[in-house]
Amino acid sequence: MPIELLTNAEMAKADRLASISGISSMSLMEAAGAAVARVAARRLYANGGRRAAVLCGPGNNGGDGYVAGRVLREFGFDVRIASLGSPSKLKGDAAEAALRWNAKTAALGDLTLEDVDLVVDALFGAGLARHLEGRAKQTVEQLDAWGGSTGRPIVATDVPSGLDGTTGEARGACLHATETVTFFRLKPGHLLLPGRTFCGHLTLADIGIPASVLGEIAPQTLVNGPDLWGPALRLPKLGGHKYTRGHALVVSGRMPETGAARLAARGALRAGAGLVTVASPRGALAVHAASLTAIMVRESDGPVGLSKVLADPRKNAVVLGPGLGVGEETCALVETALVPAGAEKRRAHVLDADALTSFAGHPERLFAAIGTAGGPVVLTPHEGEFARVFKQLRALPKVERAREAARRSGATIVLKGADTVVAAGDGRAAIAHNAPPWLGTAGAGDVLAGMIAGLLAQGMPGFEAAAAGVWMHGQGAKHFGPGLVSEDLPEMLPKVWAELAED
């Protein structure tokens, strides 16, 4: 899968640039419609079906549908096309595609689907400008109900009708496709929620747009995967040893909130940090010492104690937040940790959970502290924590929320969820799509914070370490399968490392 994701506007620009380079827009429509027809034909053959209906809308998406219908007919299938609106009102390439169909087109209200084996949805594309309403909304809802009640496949053209290709939001109504065929590059809405739940299986078709157009578009939204951050990954080297792979420090809360710190510490160790230490209040030393083996424990009470532990600049990545407690002391611990380690060392920080919530009433204080840090800072909020720290951004779509939060805070943002977005202050944003449903379990976020710190300790840049940690987190959960609990995640990382090393 190519790593670039194109917004609706960027995809339109790609079409224009292809035209400038001498590729006709009609040839792109022909290629797109043929790609949809091939997918539909594959599904019809697999199910022994012969009858297909193509529902065409009033724009270029409808034009793709006319091409798909014509190609399916050439394949020998019984094809009917119905149009939302009069075909005579189509313009440009869509009008030409309708002419080339050269057969009857029914009005949408006159088409019955009782004996249809498959429907091609070519009603509305990714660039839908407003919410569906009236006849359009009713049509999408009826088609969705037909697919749900019959179990027969719906193949969507570009996006399921009603889906915003940029944000992944449903515009008034949206149908659930069995398979979605899109072109040149995926769109953010194919991976973001709820969009991903509407798309079914995703098929990306090459329709002849040259990859060279991406140079001028310079897309900033990307698929999170090894192709994005692999070159920055620090695989062990023959001459390496524990001191060359960094030293991660996890700051623990008081009894009985110590489990979160141990989860983070185990995540950091399995992610490859050479050494990991838990900085523990005196009252929690015994429970940590009894529970940890490969991970060291150091006494650290309050900001003064933490300052003493951090006097050793070799501790080059710090995790604060898991089980730390909400309040002024946590704010002080964060500010202490963010004091630069010295000109010769750039210490990295991961702030999660309580380290974020403690600044809910005064986020500017947190941002000011981040501004003093000598190294990368990664914030890992879930939606609730994000809303507490970045209240003014709640109305923005997810990718834009994360981008703006990164710009305001000066940190890399990991906005967690089934579609976790990692955003950097320079505008880059990566969308994860490999997290299985069973990853939503207590403590999984603590492990993730530790994993990112373990990668930072090895010298990965902030954005790349955060994106890699998110992907490895999801991949570990996939390796384990249903029934996962957070303690299982670090133990799956050897399988993930083996996968990455093989690649």
pLDDT above 70 as % of the chain:
99
Q: Which helix (H) or strand (E) is 308 found in, with range?
A: helix 302-309
215's CB contacts (< 8 A; 6+ apart) are none
List b or e across 387-400, with b for residues whose CB sees 16 or more CB atoms inside 10 angstroms.
Answer: eebbeebeeebbbb
Taking the C-alpha atoms of residue 186 and residue 154, their distance in angstroms, rounded to an integer, is 19
Taking the C-alpha atoms of residue 264 and residue 449, their distance in angstroms, rounded to an integer, is 6
End-to-end Cα, the chain, rounded Å = 15
pLDDT above 90 as % of the chain:
94
Under the banding of pLDDT at 50, 70 and 90, the label for residue 98 is: very high
3-state SS of 288-302 is HHHHCCCCEEEECCH
Length of the chain, in residues? 503
Vertex 394 angle, CA 389 and 395, to 5°: 160
Residue in 112, 138, 113, 110 with CA at minimum distance from that of residue 123: 138
| Per-residue pLDDT tens digits for 21-52 | 999 999 999 999 999 999 999 999 999 999 99
Would the CA dihedral through 398, 400, 403, 404 be positive or negative? negative
> Averaged over 374-385, what is the pLDDT?
96
Give yes or no for residue 346 having a pLDDT over 90. Answer: no
Q: Which domains does the chain have, with CATH numbers?
A: 4-219 (3.40.50.10260), 226-502 (3.40.1190.20)
Residue in 154, 172, 147, 94 with CA at minimum distance from that of residue 118: 154
| Per-residue pLDDT tens digits for 128-185 | 878 999 999 999 999 999 999 999 999 999 999 999 999 999 999 999 999 999 999 9
Q: What pLDDT was estimated at residue 386?
A: 98
